[in-house]
Every structure is written in structure tokens, then in C-alpha cells.
Amino acid sequence: MTRSRVLDRPSAAAQRVAVPRRHDAPRVPARPHDPAHDDAFSRALYERHGAVLLNFALRLCNGDRHRAEDIVQETAVRAWQHREILDPTTDRVRTWLFTVAHRLVIDHYRARQARPNEVGDGESEERAVPDPAERVVTLRAVLEVMNELTEQQREILIYTYYLGHSVEQTAAALGLAPGTVKSRAHYAMRALRASLRDRAVMD
């Protein structure tokens, strides 16, 4: 992934995309518009979170690098739009970035489902890279249920499940004791399973 792929200044059209609720974002004191600050924000976002965000997006997209890079690009645009209230120099902003990324994956999935198939549209790609329907539906359900969890629960699951971090790595990243990580992960997974069961009953 090149730096320009993730952090190019968004076009006027890109800046019109919907953004997450502002209260979801980790807040820092608002700053007046400053081109130098904008450039520093982009550099910090890429250097500290770019590789981790791409790895996260690859997992969500079943290893499809092209789609994953699109998700990273759109997530970076959303972050750039919130540059006055986001602090890219901290790991805490990752929960916000990951939440935006998995919402975008859901939106892309729904858009593909709603779009009529055109002759030859994606046929060779689908045949070359099978994408079992069961796995896609399961991923969609899990991502949607993640939105029903608390921010603390989402954060733990993102590090321990989606990124595959160990308890020790997660504890170091979040500044928590390993025992706290284990406890939060246990209750977060229990909440996730309960929500998935409730969804299955309702369906």
C-alpha cells in the first residue's frame, strides 16, 4: 500500500460522503484550518495506523486487497473530514477507524446485493476467487451486531479477534492489565453471541 493510495487529499465529491456521528469520534480541541496541520495529520495517520488498518480491512474483505485498499481510502477520507477532532498520534483513534471501516464494508456489501447483475460484470473475478455465500452472510451479521456493542467491547474484539493480537499485545496497545483484557474479551464475546442468537431467532 502506497502512502498516496491511503492519504491523498479527498476530492470535492469524496468530501460529500456521509460521515459517522460526531460523538463517536475521540475528541481533541478543535483547531482553525491550517494546511500544515492537515499535512501532519495525514502523515501521522498513515505512519501510525495505515498498515494496521489495511490488515484489518483485508480480514473484512476476505483477503481481497483491491477492496481492502478502497475501504482504507474511504476510511482515511472520513478521518480527514474529522481532522479537527481526531488525534492520529494515539492508538485510541483506531477504534474509531475500525468502526468506520466495518460500516463501509457493510455498505459496500449491501450496494453489491442491490445492484442488478450486468452481463460479464464480475463473472471472471467471482469464478477465480470463490466467495461462499454463507461466509459473506455470517460476516455481515457479525459486523452489524458489532454496532450494538459498547465501544469498549468493540475495541477488545477488534484487537483480539479481527487483528489476531494476543492478550499481552492487546493489553500493551490499550494500556490495560492482561487480566482486564481477558475479562473484557470474555464478556464482549458473550454479548456478541447473545446478539447473534437473538438475530437468528428474529429471522
84 in any annotated domain: yes
57-71, 88-102, 104-118, 145-159, range with the lowest pLDDT:
104-118
Question: Is residue 139 pLDDT above 80, yes or no?
Answer: no
Do 99 and 46 fall within a single domain? yes
Q: Is 144 exposed, middle or buried (0-12, 13-18, 19+ CB in 10 A)?
A: middle
The CATH number assigned to the domain holding 50 equals: 1.10.1740
Do 183 and 154 fall within a single domain? yes
Can you tell me the mean pLDDT for 128-147? 59
Do 5 and 81 fall within a single domain? yes
For 188, the grid coordinates are 464482549
* 202: confidence class by pLDDT, cuts 50, 70, 90: low
Q: How many CB atoms lie within 10 A of CB 13?
A: 7
55 in any annotated domain: yes
Model pLDDT for residues 40-53, shown as the tens digit of each residue: 888 899 899 999 89
pLDDT of 108:
83
Q: Tell me how many domains the chain contains.
A: 2
Do 100 and 184 fall within a single domain? no
Determine what percent of the chain is predicted with pLDDT higher than 70: 67
Can you tell me the mean pLDDT for 159-166? 83
Q: 87, 89, 92: which is closest to 28 by C-alpha?
A: 87
Do 152 and 129 fall within a single domain? no
- Rounded Cα distance, 144 and 190, in Å: 16
SS3 content of the chain, % helix, strand, coil (to 5): 70, 0, 30
pLDDT of 19:
41
Do 200 and 156 fall within a single domain? yes
Question: Is residue 69 pLDDT above 70, yes or no?
Answer: yes
20 in any annotated domain: no
Do 60 and 90 fall within a single domain? yes
Do 158 and 79 fall within a single domain? no
Do 124 and 182 fall within a single domain? no
pTM: 0.58
Question: What is the extent of the structural domain holding 195?
Answer: 148-203
* 194: confidence class by pLDDT, cuts 50, 70, 90: confident
The CATH number assigned to the domain holding 165 equals: 1.10.10.10
Do 126 and 166 fall within a single domain? no
Model pLDDT for residues 86-100, shown as the tens digit of each residue: 999 888 888 889 889
